A and B are shown apart, each in its own frame.
Chain A
Amino acid sequence: MIPLLQRPRTILLLWYDGWLRRRLPRTRSLTLNQKRIFILPSRDGIGFLMMTGAIFIGGINYANSLMLAVSFLLISLFLVSILHTYGNLSGLQINAGRTENAFVGEDAVFSINLRGMNHQQHEAIGLQWGDGKAELVDLIEVDELQVRMLLPVSQRGRYRPTRLKIETRFPLGLLRAWSWVELDMSCLVYPQPNVNEYPGALLSSGAEGDQLTHEGSDDFDGLKNYVAGDNPRHIAWKNYARTGELYSKVFIGYEDHERWLDWQSYRGISVEQRLSKLCFWVLQFRDRDSRYGLKLPGVEIAPGQGEQHARRCLEALSLFALPDDQEGTHG
């Protein structure tokens, strides 16, 4: 019985999904209008209507015109609030904003910019992605608002959030107006860093030996007075808190050789674990400001350093062995 029932249900859901997609295609920016807003009575609204019905019956039975008038007033409030609830969403412009990448198990940040048209006020607008936490925001006295939304991510790769639900029950809570927005937004989900020993065997395979002098080091040596231009990552903040003076940590180390992080140096463990371990070292090297390269099957990133370089490496780890544009799902 159940599969028989489920099948039409699945078909219905698929059809609904397709219909929504046709109606509300993926976009970077859109304005909510009558094509995109759905509106139905909320559970409270149905309760309200039932109470109104009770008052109406009372008015009829006691032949009380004024009780009838109260029930008519309540019905009118309900009808008028359809317009108000709809108006609270309509004209709201939703723009995809910045995204921040995240590691598996953390929260990715998606910024959404809301804009009201013609100084229209929008109050108590709820934004929700899937089962994530709903954000409730007001657009009053401001025309534009940035909402940072945190989305927990659990799978490596390119993550595209599901449709964003924009919902409001303002002003009376009797009706629920909502829209599904498929924003063209994505972020990268990096593997979860996994602490491990540095596989020293492959310590230096860079043969050219070009000596690029830089301040990055591996082992902590001591403190020196901070000079403008020092890497802020190396400031001894604890010391600063204690003494009020800025010191930079000095590292001694292997300035003269490049490191390679190689897929091949982790054998006998699963792909994800390998990536996690590599990820840990990318982060370590980034924090130490070392020079390093990354080798994955089919991907080789030449040694480099700095934020940009780390980002490239992390991206390679994130997307490793995944189809080009995977629809991210989580859960």
Chain B
Amino acid sequence: MDSGYQIPRNSLIWLLAAMFAGIAPHLSRLPLWLIAVCLLSGGWRVMVYRSRWRLPNRWVKAVLVLSGIAAVLGHYGTLLGPEAGTALLILGFCFKLLETHSRRDAFVVVVLGFFVVATAFFFTQSMAITAYLMLVCFMVTAALIGLNQTPLQTHPGRTAKRALKLIAQSLPLMLVLFIFVPRVSPLWSLDLGSSQARTGLSDRITPGDIAQLSRSPELAFRVEFDGPMPPQHKLYWRALVMDHYDGATWSRGSVDMDKEPLVAVFGGKQLPWQSQLRRLSDSYRYRIIMEPTDQRWLFALPAATSSNIKVGQSRDFRLLTANPIRQPFSYNVESYLNYKLDENLPGWLARQNTQLPGSGNPRSRALAQQLKNQSTDTEDLVRRMMDMFRNQPFSYTLRPPRLQGDRIDQFMFESRQGFCSHYAGAFVFMMRAAGVPARVVAGYQGGELNPMGDYLLVHQFDAHAWAEVWMPNRGWTRVDPTAAIAPSRVEQGVEEALAGEQSFLEDSLFSPVRYRRIAWLSQLRFAMDYINFAWHRSVLGYNEKFQSEFLANFLGPINFRKLGIWMVVGVMSTLLLIALLLFWKRMGAPRDPLLALYMKFCTKMAKRDMARRTGESEVEYLGRLKQRWPEKTALMEELTKLYLQGRYDRHGKQGASSRGQRLLRIKQLIRTI
């Protein structure tokens, strides 16, 4: 079994370094036992290298492999999917290290190293991680070089230098490929599982949830507008519509709006209900680059359509994708801020949006009836309701008292302190109690402009809840009761609205967002975010659409053929440049001008059939030349003498001027000969 193959020292050093560096980014996701197995395998290999231990025999290996697979299966419940797959890959990488009996085995280990690097991008795609993984790629390359060196080469530094050179020369080529290789849409649809906890909206709102979210300075998404941006108070990013109330929590109703046939694909077959959206005017085009949410819903201003093929539209006119968003995702949207939605409300929708629990909150119901009786139509009712919020001593706070039992009654008549979700919830409850279809909408409101890249940053603390009320002839109309209580929330953002309370991001002491009033810190934060934004937009978001738009700027309209040609041309010219760099020294004439002149002399003589033989000394050659052309003896002797003088007096005993004179003289001689 054991043929005694040893991975060369140089390779082993780099391989172990690459192995641990490559596994490091996975550490937080991997179970502890797997890390222990990695350490054990690496240590074992080192002991084998030092001839202390032997490689495990067949039975030990079989037990290791089987128990490893069983453990992965036990831990993840599956062997498929990125998480379990990566764990298996890392396990295989470690075990293969214990099973290297030949150079080929060692090669497989090294190549698995590249694979481990690639899988790390399933989970994180930040710039820092990318730079780090480039470093790991470099280490793996060094290990691969070490594998191909003779055992005499034991200096890891030399190997590293070569690896660095290779990587450095590959980078421009990689860039060319990255830009020009035609991007295609996924061949088959895949869902990346995820076990990471994410901050973000959830599809159930219990008053207090959004308040929780408002403590997070994390980024939710970025928006880049083509052209002007709507005013701040119109930036209502819809994500979820909640139409079911159970007395405590707002949630999505019994009819799943995110399923066929209540989901339409843009550009596909027009479903009858899609005509319920009439887009009138005030259109905006923009591009949203969102962070992973593990949810299917997307964010958009109202009346949105997208040209992204992965994006569809639900019956409540939100955007969504087929699979949960597990990695940064970008999509283009067109929205109309002047629109009409569901002018004719179908009966089932009306029923769904007037649903209320059978009992509870009697005082609020009574108040709603009373207001309804006073008002002439729905519009008037909404106005009266808003006036009530405005005139009663309601206050906007992140620290509302806890509510129990008849929560709406308590909120409306006792505590009167709450956050957007309290107001939206109470408002919709009252509207429904008055028999008007209404629903709670959750999403984000506002955003922070990054002046550097002219794009919007929407943070988790911008999370918001508001209401949509159905009115005859107008359809669904947005009503934001929070705006009545704390107008600054909508005009200037949550920080302003909470200025008196000092509760804005009070848990995130170290978040730079918290200190956005400090100018230089803000500048720095914007600059950092701009770099990140560019990374997300231009690198992570470099998809089919972005590629064709980007390249069209330089090359005109793009098609597959054109891309292919440009790709080949780009790769070839880059390779040519690298080749020039590599072989410049060899292709050029010898650098030494003296030698060059003498070579010229030899070539001249060679043309007259007196080529210098290989290994013939200058003096021997001179002898033959003299025999052939006795009349030129003196000239040739002088030339050879000058050349030899110059050649063996290299340490500059003679000044530069005499060296120059000598060259000049030799030139003359060559001409006369």
Contacts and interface: CB of A to CB of B under 8 A. Distances in A.
Tell whether A pairs with B. yes
Interface of A: 28-29, 44, 47-48, 51, 55, 57-77, 79-81, 83-84, 87, 90-91, 117-118, 120, 123-124, 136-138, 140, 169-173
Nearest to B162: A171
A61 B586 contact: no
Contact of A69 (B111, B178, B190): B178
B275 interface: no
B114 A62 contact: no
Nearest to B137: A73
Which label, helix, strand, loop or mixed, suits the secondary structure of the A interface? helix
B459 to A, nearest CB: 24
Contact of B150 (A77, A81, A124): A124
Of residues B111, B174, B184, B190, which shows the largest number of chain A Cβ atoms within 10 Å of its Cβ? B174
Contact of B582 (A55, A83, A172): A83
Contacts of B79: none
Nearest to B85: A58
A58 to B, nearest CB: 7
A176 B45 CA distance: 29
A173 B144 contact: yes
B149 A83 contact: no
A169 B146 CA distance: 12
Contacts of A91: 586
A66 B111 contact: no
A170 B148 contact: yes
Nearest to B158: A140
B413 interface: no
B162 A70 contact: no
Contacts of B515: none
Given A79-B575, A87-B583, A67 B170 contact: no
Contacts of A136: 150
Given A62-B192, A73-B170, A79-B575, A138 B147 contact: no
Contacts of B82: 62
9 contacts: A72-B174, A72-B181, A73-B137, A74-B114, A76-B177, A79-B575, A83-B579, A84-B582, A140-B153
A80 B166 contact: yes
Interface in B468-508: none
A172 B122 contact: no
A32 B305 CA distance: 64
Given A76-B173, A80-B170, A87-B583, A61 B141 contact: no
B590 to A, nearest CB: 7
A243 B579 CA distance: 66
B36 interface: no
A81 B575 CA distance: 11
B323 to A, nearest CB: 10
Given A70-B114, A73-B174, A84 B166 contact: yes
Nearest to B130: A66
A57 B187 contact: yes
Given A75-B173, A84-B582, 14 more contacts: A51-B111, A55-B118, A62-B186, A63-B543, A65-B539, A69-B178, A73-B170, A73-B171, A75-B174, A77-B170, A79-B173, A90-B586, A120-B586, A172-B141
B187 A77 contact: no
Residue in B137, B148, B178, B575 with the greatest tally of chain A CB atoms within 10 Å = B148
B541 interface: yes
Nearest to B192: A62
Given A81-B166, A118-B585, A66 B125 contact: yes
